[in-house]
Structures are given as structure tokens and as C-alpha cells.
Amino acid sequence: MCGRISQYSGIHDFVAALSMPNALANSVGDQPIERYNVAPTTQVALLHLQGGLLLAEQVRWGWRPHWAKDRAAPINARAEKVAHGPFFRAIWPHRAITPIDNWFEWVDEGGPKKQPYLIRRRDGAPIFCAAIGQLPDADKGPSEHDGFVIITADSAGGMVDIHDRRPVVLNPDLAREWLDPATPKERAEQMVLHQGEPAETFEWFKVDGAVGNVKNKGPGLIQPVR
């Protein structure tokens, strides 16, 4: 986890659920995003703070430091290591939220192909994933080196049957604290280690195998199948 997500709500819907009073600089657009099968390495709507301004921007999902050119850019970072390992040291202070509607996981159920499952909040609210990255500068604009990773933690409860890892999902209060540059790094580490939303916050169900092909884009991908 996490290898495929959906962002179909509008950025204003995500921001409203976040309840942030900051002025918004929105380069994502005002219409619903309507992306049901978002893959790594593509541009993904991201929220971050700079100078008291909330920025909504498209940033590439995946990042690696300049000295690691011999390996693929990771798309996730483990909560247990992200704050202290050398790989993500440069971007650990640069926190963001990846707002999503759901994510997908694949389970081996003995068939010819793994079965995809959609995971979403039971209450239907947006999902705020803790992320870090090399983020666009509000003054200088985007850079070719920009990118982000989603922080993951061990799964718990019934979610373990779907996948052993899950994104660290923060409630709106914690998401605002996570975004605040004034939040100490030590506090940020404790948030991703211990304060992610519990498994019972979520529900999951089988969806059509068509989601496995990134060329498939429609809303039918998020509908349950028997």
C-alpha cells in the first residue's frame, strides 16, 4: 500500500472538510477532479501550507533524493522509519495532505488474478492521507524535481486481511496540525506513529478487476461487485 487511489470530489469539497480558514491558492481547478483510477508517477492533487497560504496543486506521486538515481522513486514511506532514515531526510520537514475519496488494494483469493478491493471511510467523508514531499514553491512555481510520498503504517483489525499496510489517515483536526509548519517534527512523528484513523473507520468491498488497468478511468470502477 498504497498503490492506487481515487480523487473524484472537487478540491473545494476537500478543503471544506478540512475546515481551514487560510486563503486558498488553487491551481487544481474548481470542478470535480473525477479521477477514479489514479496511478503512481502521475500528477495528484495535494494540499500544503506556505506562508499562511493553503496551496492546492498537482504534484507527481513519487520522489527520490538526487543521490538515489539508481532506484525507482518510492511512492510510500513507512511511518516507523520516515522521520530518522537518510532517504527521506530532506523532505521530512515538508508536510502535505493527499486528499482522496478511496484507495484500492489487491488480495490473492486463489483465483487466476488477485481481487481488487476499494477502501473508503464508512461515513463517506474525505480521506486525508499524511504525505511529505519536495513541494512547489509559491513564489518560484513548480520544479521538475517536485514529488511526494504517502506515509503508511501497519494495518490493524480486519483491514489486515486486505493488506498489511495502510495509509496514515488523519482526522481534520490532526490534518490541520500536520500541515502547520510550526508543528514540531517530534510531534509530527508521533502523529503518524500513533494517531492515524483506526481500522473501524473504514469499510471495503470488492470491485471490478478493470481497475487493474490504468487505462480504465470511469466511475464504474468504484462500484461494488458480487
Strands (E), 123-176: 127-134, 147-154, 165-167
pTM, rounded to two decimals: 0.95
Positions annotated as catalytic residues are: 2, 105
> For residues 149 and 74, is the Cβ–Cβ distance under 8 A?
yes
In the chain, where the domains are located: 5-222
C-alpha cell at 4: 492506487
Interval 200-211: pLDDT, tens: 999 999 999 999
**Domain spanning 5-222, CATH class:** alpha beta
Instruction: Say how far apart CA 183 and CA 150 lie, in whole Å.
Output: 19
Interval 139-198: pLDDT, tens: 888 888 999 999 999 987 767 777 779 999 999 999 999 999 999 999 999 999 999 999
Interval 91-126: pLDDT, tens: 999 999 999 999 999 999 888 999 999 999 999 999
Exposure letters 177-210 (e unless 16+ CB within 10 A, then b): bbbeeeeeeeebbebbeebbbebebbebeebebe
> For residues 44 and 149, is the Cβ–Cβ distance under 8 A?
no
